[in-house]
Amino acid sequence: MVGTFRNEPVLDFTVVENRKKMEDALAYVQTQFNREYPLRINGEDVKTGKLLKSYNPARKDQVVGSFHKAGKKEIDLAMSAALKAFEEWKYFDPEERSILLLKAANIMRRRRFELNAWMVYETSKNWVEADADTAEAIDFLDFYGREMLRLSERQPLTDTEGEFNKLIYIPLGVGAVIPPWNFPNAILVGMTSASIVTGNAVLLKPSSDAPCTGYCLMEIMEEAGIPKGVLNFVPGSGSEIGDYIVQHPKTRFIAFTGSMEVGLRINRLAAEPSEGQIWIKRVVAEMGGKDGIVVDSEADIEAAATGTVAAAFGFQGQKCSACSRVIVDESIYDEFCNLIVEKTNELTIGDVSDPENYMGAVINKASFDSIFKYIEIGKKEGKLIAGGEGDDSKGYFIKPTIIKDIAPHAVIAQEEIFGPVLAVIKVKGMDEAMKVANNTIYGLTGAFFSRNKAKVARAKREFHVGNLYINRKCTGALVDVHPFGGFNMSGTDSKAGGSDYLQLFLQAKSISEQL
Ligand code: NAP
Ligand 1, atom nearest to 491 Cα: 41
Alpha helices in 71-206 (DSSP H): 72-89, 94-110, 112-123, 127-151, 186-197
First to last CA, the chain: 33
CATH of the domain at 369: 3.40.309.10
Alpha-carbon distance values, 406 to 135, 157, 277, 346 (Å):
37, 55, 49, 24
Q: 154, 26 in Cβ contact below 8 A?
A: no
Which residue(s) pair with 54 in the sheet? 65
232 and 375 within one domain: no
Residue 299 is assigned to a structural domain of this protein: yes
Q: 372, 400 in Cβ contact below 8 A?
A: no
Q: Is 262 in the pocket of ligand 1 (CB under 6 A)?
A: yes
Residue 483 is assigned to a structural domain of this protein: no
45 and 172 within one domain: yes
CA distance 468 to 482: 9
Number of folded domains in the chain? 2
433 and 304 within one domain: yes
Check: pTM over 0.95? Answer yes or no. yes
Q: 235, 68 in Cβ contact below 8 A?
A: yes
Compute, in angstroms, the gap from residue 17 CA to the centroid of ligand 1. Answer: 36
295 and 273 within one domain: no
Rounded to the nearest angstrom, the gap between the alpha carbon of residue 386 and the centroid of all alpha carbons in its chain is: 28
47 and 161 within one domain: yes
233 and 326 within one domain: no
CA distance 116 to 426: 39
CA distance 321 to 413: 15
Going residue by residue through the chain (515 aa), what tens digit of pLDDT does each one get?
789 999 999 999 999 999 999 999 999 999 999 899 999 999 999 999 999 999 999 999 999 999 999 999 999 999 999 999 999 999 999 999 999 999 999 999 999 999 999 999 999 999 999 999 999 999 999 999 999 999 999 999 998 999 999 999 999 999 999 999 999 999 999 999 999 999 999 999 999 999 999 999 999 999 999 999 999 999 999 999 999 999 999 999 999 999 999 999 999 999 999 999 999 999 999 999 999 999 999 999 999 999 999 999 999 999 999 999 999 999 999 999 999 999 999 999 999 999 999 999 999 999 999 999 999 999 999 999 999 999 999 999 999 999 999 999 999 999 999 999 999 999 999 999 999 999 999 999 999 999 999 999 999 999 999 999 999 999 999 999 999 999 999 999 999 999 999 999 999 999 999 99
Compute, in angstroms, the gap from residue 255 CA to the centroid of ligand 1. Answer: 11
CA distance 379 to 388: 9
Q: Is 257 in the pocket of ligand 1 (CB under 6 A)?
A: yes
Q: State the pLDDT at residue 34.
A: 82
Q: Looking at 212, 320, 337, 474, which residue is catalytic?
A: 320
Residue 338 is assigned to a structural domain of this protein: yes
354 and 252 within one domain: no
Q: 162, 210 in Cβ contact below 8 A?
A: no
303 and 198 within one domain: no
Q: Is 491 in the pocket of ligand 1 (CB under 6 A)?
A: yes
180 and 232 within one domain: yes
Amino acid at 336: F
Residue 2 is assigned to a structural domain of this protein: no
Stretch (H or E) spanning 214: helix 211-224
Nearest CA to ligand 1 atom 13: 238
Q: 120, 346 in Cβ contact below 8 A?
A: no
| Length reported for the chain | 515
Residue 4 is assigned to a structural domain of this protein: no
Q: State the pLDDT at residue 511.
A: 97
174 and 76 within one domain: yes
CA distance 212 to 125: 14
Residue 10 is assigned to a structural domain of this protein: no
80 and 58 within one domain: yes
Rounded to the nearest angstrom, the gap between the alpha carbon of residue 298 and the centroid of all alpha carbons in its chain is: 33
Strands 323-329 and 291-295: parallel
CB atoms within 10 A of CB 473: 23
44 and 154 within one domain: yes
Ligand 1, atom nearest to 259 Cα: 32
Ligand 1, atom nearest to 496 Cα: 40
Compute, in angstroms, the gap from residue 262 CA to the centroid of ligand 1. Answer: 6
Q: State the pLDDT at residue 436.
A: 98
Q: 360: domain range?
A: 291-478
Residue 224 is assigned to a structural domain of this protein: yes
Active site residue 320: yes
